[in-house]
Structure formats: structure tokens, C-alpha cells
Structure 1
Amino acid sequence: MTTPVLYLFGSAAPPVFDVGRVVEDAQARGFDVCLGLTPTAVRWLGDQVPVLAELTGHPVRSEYKTPGEPDVWPKADVIAVAPATFNTVNSWALGLTHDFVVGVVAEGVGKDIPLVLMPCVNAAYVQHLRFERSISELREMGVEVLYGEGGFVPNQPGQSRPKEYPWGLVLDAAERLARPRHA
């Protein structure tokens, strides 16, 4: 039995600062973790990025590779996108693949790779009609969306609670979704 590969993708929302601990938790669950971040998340994490690469044993990616360049990651068994910002959720649903993270998950739908998404948005953003439509469309595409009861519940603007972000739910879903491929 091979070690399942988890692509853990994060956007620039406050819980991304805990991604090192989440990588360690995923590794303790038996995953080989490859970390992908949006360009803004890479900027936020700054000096932590080399440490995260060492922790995972893979380069942290935020940009597309050039044509002909070899892929530096093993193939994914499951992809988890968390925290996912308003921009990431909507870009994914609309197929706007300007960022590496969104491009990989948009293609992942067509490749039948199990996908889990947990947003991190405030209650003001979710009032925008596009957000609920995007959540619905991603669910229709087969993405497991951890939002609302049993997932991420938005807080009021300015009341960020990054330590309360339910990372365990993301890893639980990733374990469940990866299991059939490694049973």
C-alpha cells in the first residue's frame, strides 16, 4: 500500500498562518503532503515558505510550471482547498484559472480527483449572490464543500477567529475521500 498524496492548497485568509501545524497533522494521519498557496498567501507566509518546503519534502508551489518542465510533485490522491477565500471559491466555480491553485483544482474536477473545499469568508461576503451560486456549482461538480452547519460558519466582518477554523474537518474529509483509492 502506497502513502496517499494530499495536495493541501491555501488562500490568503488568517487560518493559513497555521498551515505548518496542519501539514504535521496530515502527515500524522499518513499523508504525503504537497503544499500549494495562492500568490498572496505565499507573500503572507514569507520566510515560512522554505520551512514548509522542508517540512513537506516538496517545493511549495504557487505558480504554474513552464511547458516541458517536469512536475516536481507526485500525483494527488485527494486535494483539499482550505482556507479558501471569496476570490478562490468564485474563481474556481467560474473556471478562472489565473492562479496555480485554482487551475489545479479546476482541472482536478475533470480528472476525477476527490476534492474538498472549506471556505474562510466573513458574513458580508456571503451576502454576494455569486458566493452561494459558486458553492452550489462546486457541489454540483462533485466537490465536497464544508460550509454551513458541519463545516465553516462565517463570522462577522472584523471578527476573525482563525484559531477556531475547523481544520480537523478538512483532514477528516481528505482521509475519507482518499481511502477508496488506497483500500
Structure 2
Amino acid sequence: MTRTLYLFCSAAPPVFDVAPVIEDAQARGWDVCLGLTPTAAKWLATGLDGLAALTGRPVRSEYRMPGQPDVWPKADAILFAPMTFNSANEWALGLTSKWAVGVVAEGIGKGIPIVAMPCVNAAYARHSALDRSVETLRALGVTVLYGEGGFVPNQPGQGRPAEYPWGLALDAVDRSARPPVDRPPT
């Protein structure tokens, strides 16, 4: 029985540690498909082939052209982490010019369990748009791990990417996901 996890990442420092997160998710029984925002894809450009080899699927960051087949299986769950200030606000407002944001916006309507964990510094966190966006996403059924029990912002310039709570995010995905289903091999 295979469960498919779409792991989407924005351009925030924890994205550089995504390979061990993929391995952790795979050890938990997930078939992982990695999607990145365009800037995150640029940040990881030199490692994209290795990440594709690790997942066994192409890493995606852009919409496919009309008529092109979808090369990923359907998602049983989605994790959007790290999710930047920009991605959180775009998603909450329904602005889907970025492929990853479009998929999670549509995922809400499809009833796919979605977990999101921001990665913002305290200066961004003081902006009222972030609280509104988190509230909107939660009201739409997204599990947003932000604040106590999730990601807690640090001061600007004092990032601690090694302390980003990836394990909490994967635990939340495991709790929220549907039971595994039998699927034919792809």
C-alpha cells in the first residue's frame, strides 16, 4: 500500500535540508513528490537531479503545458513547508500564479489533507497579513503549524534552519492523511 505525499517548499533556509525530510517521509511509508516555488527551484538548482533520483519522480516548479500528461500520482496528503510569508499570503488570497500555490489552493477544494508550516522571521510575523492568512487557511481546513506547537518566528538575521521542526510537520501529515490505499505501480 502506497501513500503519496506532495512536499512543497518555498525559498526559505530550511529548504536546503529537504533531502533528509524526504528520506524521513519515505521511511514513514510515503511516496514523496517534491514541488518547489520558482525561487526555491533556483536555490536548489544544482541538486535537483539528486532530489529527483531520491524521490524517483521529477521535481516540479512550474505549471505543465495544456495536453501534457501529469507525471505524478494523485496526492493522499500535501505538506507545504517551509512556507514563506509571500506563499502564505498568495495562497490565502487565492493568487495562483505559482504552480505550488495553485496545487494547494485546488487541493483544498479536492478535500486533500494539507499541512502547512510557515518559515518567517519576527519582522514578517508582525505584519497583520500573516495572521489573516493563517486564519483564512485554517478556516479552509488546512492544518497550519504556526505559533506554539509549530513554527515560532525568530528575529531577522537569526535564522536557525537546523531547528526548523520538520518532524512536527511530518507527524501532522501522518495524523491527517487518509489510510493507505492499494494502487497499481506507476
Query: What's the counterpart of residue 61 of structure 1?
Result: 60
Separation (CA, whole Å) in 1 of partners of 2:3 and 2:174: 9
| Distance 1:179-1:107 versus aligned 2 partners, 3 A rule | closer
Q: Quote the offset at 1:47 in angstroms.
A: 1.1
Trace 1:32-111 onto structure 2 (pairs within 5 A): 32-111=31-110
Deviation string, structure 1 residues 129-154 (Cα, Å, up to 9, x no partner): 11100000000000000000000000
Aligned to 1:167: 166
The AA in structure 1 aligned to 2:78 is: I
Determine the C-alpha separation between the residues in 1 that align with 2:163 and 2:179: 30
Q: Report the number of matched residues.
A: 182
Cα distance in 1 for residues equivalent to 2:50 and 2:42: 14
SS at structure 1 position matched to 2:7:
strand
Show the counterpart of 2:132: 133
TM-score, normalised relative to structure 1: 0.97
Structure 2, unmatched stretches of 5+, are: none
Among the aligned pairs, what percent are the same residue? 69
Whether contact under 8 Å (2:108, 2:141) holds in the other structure is yes
- Where in structure 1 are there 5+ consecutive unaligned residues? none
TM-score, structure 2 normalization: 0.96
Give 2:141's aligned amino acid: G
Amino acid at match of 2:106: E
Q: RMSD in angstroms over aligned alpha carbons?
A: 1.1
Task: Name the CA distance, whole Å, in 2 between partners of 1:9 and 1:126.
Answer: 21
Give the aligned residue type for 1:13: A
1:15-35 Cα distance to aligned partner (Å, 9 max, x none)? 000001100000010000000
2: CA distance, partners of 1:88 / 1:48: 22
- The 2-side partners of 1:36 and 1:180 are apart by 23
Q: What secondary structure does 1:101 align onto?
A: helix
Deviation at 1:46, TM superposition (A): 1.4
How far did 1:179 drift? 4.0
Counterpart of 2:150 in structure 1 is 151
Contact 2:2 2:180 in 1 (8 A): no
In the TM superposition, residue 182 of structure 1 has moved relative to its aligned partner by 4.6
> d(CA) in 1 for partners of 2:116 and 2:78?
9
How far apart are 1:181 and its partner, in Å? Answer: 5.5
Provide the residue aligned with 1:7 in structure 2: 6
Distance 1:181 1:93, change over 3 A: farther
Q: Alpha-carbon deviation of 1:12?
A: 0.3
Q: Secondary structure at the match of 1:152?
A: coil
Give the 4+ runs in structure 1 shifted more than 3 A. Answer: 179-183
The one-letter code sitting in structure 2 at the alignment partner of 1:42 is A
Q: CA deviation at 1:177?
A: 1.4
Aligned-partner SS, 2:162: helix
Q: Deviation string for 1:40-77 (max 9, x for gaps)?
A: 00110111101000000000000001111100000000
